[in-house]
Amino acid sequence: SEVEYLNYDVLSDFGWEPGDDDLFGKAAAADLDEVDYGAFEVHPGESLLEAAEDRGFAWPFACRGGACANCAVLLLDGELSMPASHVLPEELMERGFRLSCNGMPITDELKVVYNVKHMPELDDLLL
């Protein structure tokens, strides 16, 4: 699977919102650093976080076990499978929040905003 990623910090820098039309098009046109915007492959059996780390990126995490939400990402396209037991409430799952530490891509292409742990929605979940 190919994952296109964007750092949540960039959104506030540019005044963008996760729901903006063509958010990733704007990111592609903004000449961002590779740390903040780009794409990589996730191999079968790898979690999204493992794949990011394998490519040399330092995405946020803490527990690596689905219990803290520090590794949360917002999925704008595609799907990540997740184990049944994890910290995200159904309401946030419906809005596209997933965990990168135990989420494995199940679609060929994904678009994710990573580093979303600072979004107010996740305040109560961070340990």
Q: Which parts of this chain interact with ligand FES (CB under 6 A)?
A: 61-64, 66-71, 87, 99, 101
Toward ligand FES, which CB reaches closer, 23 or 87? 87
Nearest distance in Å: CB 31, ligand FES? 31
Nearest distance in Å: CB 70, ligand FES? 5
Toward ligand FES, which CB reaches closer, 6 or 82? 82
Toward ligand FES, which CB reaches closer, 11 or 122? 122
Nearest distance in Å: CB 127, ligand FES? 8
| Backbone phi and psi for residue 26, each to the nearest 5 degrees, phi listed first | -65, -40
Distance between CA atoms of 46 and 102, rounded to whole angstroms?
9
Nearest distance in Å: CB 102, ligand FES? 6
Which token pair is 45?
A: 């059996």
CA 62-77-68 angle, to 5 degrees, is 15
Distance between CA atoms of 82 and 39, rounded to whole angstroms?
21
**How many distinct helices (H) and strands (E) make up the chain?**
4, 7
